[in-house]
Structure 1
Amino acid sequence: MPTVLLVRHGRTTANAQGILAGRTAGVRLDAVGREQAARTAERMAQVPLVAVVTSPLERCRQTARILVDHQAGRPGEDVAASPIVVEHGITECDYGQWQGRALRDLAKEPLWSTVQSQPSAVTFPGGESLAQMQARSVAAVRRHDAAFEEQHGRGAVWAAVAHGDIIKSVLADALGMHLDLFQRIAVGPASVSIVRYGPHRPEVVATNTDSGDLSWLRDAGPAGDAPVGGGSGAQAL
């Protein structure tokens, strides 16, 4: 099946202030976040993306637009080659009454320790559970992946621009990890994680990368059997 690049949005004004933005409208990338997104777009510029799927929230749509603009800079390509698709299934977790509050204050709440140690048991007051968040986000990513395979073939590469907890939950599913272990995964602003949904199992190629050549993805081919002994690895072009 195709390869999905899981891209977290760049740093926002809320991130810089230590605020849990959640689904608050109008949260945009700050100057650092725009630079982070541009660097990530440069890394991905040599990879022909069949589409960029994004959370509907503004910070993700900004990041997605930067990715597509750099795709348009490839010789012989244009913006239409990488359409932006808005997907509500990968929108931010509904943190309910936690939304808009300072992280330093949330850390004093009794629920905070459960978020850290047993996420599967957490339902945010007035919001959704982390289990619901994972179920919808994984379903959305797998649905798009199957659709892009049907449309573009098994060697297609696409990007999903989403949020930290969303990407961590998708990676946990791909790794076969229980949701209670997903806090062991780090996903920084504008980082790229790579998953390939093969015929037997998902293959997690990379997590939380913020540098490095990705041009090898142009000719990586579809995921297949795992090489015994680890194989020779990807060769940058």
Structure 2
Amino acid sequence: MSVKKIYLIRHGQTDFNVRGIVQGSGVDSSLNEAGHRQAARFFAAYRHVPFDKVYTSTLQRTHQSVRGFLELGLPHEQHAGLNEISWGTREGTRITPEEDEEYHTVLQDWRAGRTTSRLQGGESPEEVAARQRPVVDLITSRPHEETVLVCMHGRAMRVLLCQLLGYPLSQMDSFEHHNLCLYQLDYTGSLFTVRSFLDVRHLQEVV
């Protein structure tokens, strides 16, 4: 039985990440210097992998994170279904559970299983999951693409991993993420399994 190999990464660091400002799908930020170093390190560590296709969101921080692979001439598709969750009117602002009651309440709702909850003007995890499903179906339905690289965003990655591995969305915080972290998954045609969880060994020399 053929096994599809999926390398799932989060984009590299941006200045918004450093400053604690929410980006979401409406802020098309670029990588900062550290983020470009992270991307270069990941490329150096995995350029030998015979990727058949690179998938990204439509946001430039994902494109920049896989630039080395794209410059090799690998086929590339971008899909809005892989974009980060929309945080609505709060995008571009600094919000934390400690400082923002609305944000804290929404996160608590999600952990309690109320995954249709959203910030004003934003998306719920259920809505993110729904727009991801056609992209998942597309990737898994292409048997000639045996090894693929997918670059996306932190919260959206958590939603995707729940979907692929059969976890309820209320458990998405179980999937930690860091800038340019790697999850490796195998897909047998009916089942996803994790081969590598939150792998950051390729970043060990990046400050």
What TM-score do the two structures reach when normalised by structure 1? 0.76
Structure 1 unmatched ranges of 5 or more: 73-78, 213-237
| Selected match of 1:144 from 130, 134, 139 | 139
| Selected match of 2:176 from 161, 186, 204 | 186
**Displacement of 1:29:** 0.3
1:175 aligns with 2:177: no
- The 5 A counterparts of 1:23-38 are 23-38=25-40
- Encode CA deviations 1:5-38: one digit per residue, 9 max, x unaligned: 1111000011011100113444110011111111
Percent identity over the alignment?
23
Structure 2 unmatched ranges of 5 or more: 203-207
**Displacement of 1:67:** 3.2
Aligned match of 2:63: 61
- The 5 A counterparts of 1:40-51 are 40-51=42-53
- The 5 A counterparts of 1:52-91 are 52-69=54-71, 72=72, 79=73, 82-91=74-83
- The 5 A counterparts of 1:122-137 are 122-137=117-132
Aligned match of 2:205: none
Contact 2:176–2:198, Cα closer than 8 Å, also in 1? yes
Question: Matches of 1:138 and 1:194 in 2, distance apart?
Answer: 19
Question: Matches of 2:103 and 2:42 in 1, distance apart?
Answer: 34
Instruction: Report the AA paired with residue 163 of structure 1.
Output: H
Secondary structure at the aligned position of 2:141 is classed as helix
Secondary structure at the aligned position of 1:205 is classed as strand
Which 4+ residue blocks in structure 1 deviate beyond 4 angstroms? none
**Displacement of 1:113:** 3.4
How has the CA–CA distance of structure 1 residues 86 and 200 changed in structure 2, closer, same or farther, with 3 Å as cutoff? closer
Which has the greater radius of gyration?
1
Question: Matches of 2:91 and 2:27 in 1, distance apart?
Answer: 11
- Say how many residue pairs are matched: 197
